[in-house]
Structure 1
Amino acid sequence: MFTIGHGTRTTEELAGLLRAAGAARVIDVRRYPASRRHPHFSRQELEHSLPALRVAYEWRGEELGGRRTRRDSDGAGPGPTRHPAWRNASFGAYADYMDTPAFRDALEELPGDAAGEEPAAIMCAETLWWRCHRRLIADALVVAGCEVVHILDERTRQRHELHPNARVDEHGRPVYDVGVQRALLDRTPETVRSSGTTPPKR
C-alpha cells in the first residue's frame, strides 16, 4: 500500500507520481473531499480526471477520513483515551476513532486492496505524511501485516515503520502509550528522526 498527499500539484503530476510508483488506484481518505484553493482535487473532479489518466479513484473518507472528535469514537468505549502519548489533539482523536468498529471494518478492506492486481495509494491533502492522519492509518496497516510506502516526490519514497510510542495490544491494534512522559509526538521533524526516518529537504 502507498500513501500520498496531493498538496499543490496538478492532477497530471499526481497521476504521474502514482503510476511511477506502480499504484493504479487512489483511495481518497479526506473526510471532506473538496478544496477551494485547488478545485481540481474535489471528489467530483477526481472521479473523472484520474480515470482519464489511467488511475482508478474511490472515496472512503466517511469511514477513514480525519478531523475526528471524541464524539466520533463512542464505539471505542467509555473512559479516558488509550492513547495518551499523542499531544496533538487531532491525532489523539483519530487514534481514539481507530478503536471503533467502523474504522476496523474499513481497515480490513485495505490490505486486500494492496494485495490485488491494482496496487492502491491512500490519498489526503497534506503532502507530508507525518503531518497527516495517514501516519495513523499506516501504523494500523503495518500492524495488520501490510507494507506501507509514502510517496513524497518523484525521487523520495519512505517505507513506514510503526511509531516508537506505539505498541501492539492483545487484539493486534496499535496503542499509543509508550514513554508517555517523554512523548514529543506533536514535534513532527524530531519524531520522524526518532523513528529512523528522515524527512526530505524542502
Structure 2
Amino acid sequence: MPALCPQRNDGPMNHALHTLWTIGHSTRPWEEFVAMLQADGIEVLVDVRRFAGSRRNPQYSRDVMPQALRDAGIDYLPMPALGGRRKPEPDSPNTAWRVEAFRAYADHLASPEYIEARDGLMRVAAQRRTCVMCAEAVWWRCHRRLISDDFTARGWEVVHLMAPGRSDIHVLNADAVMVGDVLEYPAPQGKLL
C-alpha cells in the first residue's frame, strides 16, 4: 500500500481506505467504556499496552477484559508488541520529538516487532471495526498518537473516541515523513542561506 505522506508537511489525501478507532480507558466506568465502543459499532478491541494490568481499575486488566468484552459482543485482541514504554535508539532519526518516550516509540516504528504487529492489526482492521486501546485518556499523551500517525500516513482514517458522543479525527503530525516504508520524525532543518 503506498504511503500518503511522501514529504514533510504533506498531509494525507482526503479519501481513507479504511478506518481505525482509538480509545484510552483511564478511570472511565466500565459501562461507559463499553457504551462508547458499541456506539461506534466496534467489533474488536486491540489492547496495545505492554503491561496490561491496572490495580486502580481492575476491570481493565488482561485477565478480566476478554470475557467482559465478549459478554458485550466485542472481541479482545492483545497486541503487546504495539505497546509503549520503549527505549530510544542512540542514533535516533526521530529528533523532532523532544519527549524521550515519544522519540523511543518513534524508533520502535522501524522495528521488525512493530512492523509485524502493525501489519497484523491492519489485516484485522481492514475486515472488522477495530479500536486500539491503551490506558491514557487522551491520545496526544499516548503512543496511540504515533500508531495513529503511522496508519494515517498509510491512507487510513483514524478516529479517537474521547467521551460519549465525542470523537476527534486524527491529523498527521507535521514533522512526519515516510522514509522508505517507515514513518520518521526528523527535526526540521533550518534554511541554509
> What TM-score, normalized by structure 2, do the two folds share?
0.84
**3-state SS of paired residue (1:148):** strand
1:102-181 matches, within 5 Å, as 102-116=113-127, 118-169=128-179, 171-179=180-188
Using the TM superposition, give the Cα deviation of residue 22 of structure 1 relative to its aligned residue in structure 2, in angstroms.
1.7
> What TM-score, normalized by structure 1, do the two folds share?
0.80
> Where does structure 2 lack aligned partners over 5 or more consecutive residues?
1-19
In structure 2, what is the Cα distance between the partners aligned to 1:152 and 1:175?
A: 26
> Where does structure 1 lack aligned partners over 5 or more consecutive residues?
74-78, 182-202
Q: Which has the higher strand share?
A: 2
Using the TM superposition, give the Cα deviation of residue 110 of structure 1 relative to its aligned residue in structure 2, in angstroms.
1.8
1:39-85 Cα deviation digits (max 9, x unpaired): 11100000111111111111111x10000113xx6xxxxx6111001
In structure 1, what is the Cα distance between the partners aligned to 2:166 and 2:181?
A: 30
1:104-154 Cα deviation digits (max 9, x unpaired): 1111122222221x3010000011000000000111111222221110011
Q: CA RMSD in A?
A: 1.5
Q: Which has the higher helix share?
A: 1
The structure 1 residue matched to 2:82, chosen from 57, 64, 74, is 64
Using the TM superposition, give the Cα deviation of residue 177 of structure 1 relative to its aligned residue in structure 2, in angstroms.
1.2
Runs of 4+ in 1 over 2 A off after TM superposition: 178-181
Residue 111 of structure 1 contacts residue 146 of structure 1 at CA under 8 Å; is this kept in 2? no
Amino acid across the alignment from 1:33: A
Calculate percent identity across the aligned residue pairs: 37
Aligned length: 171
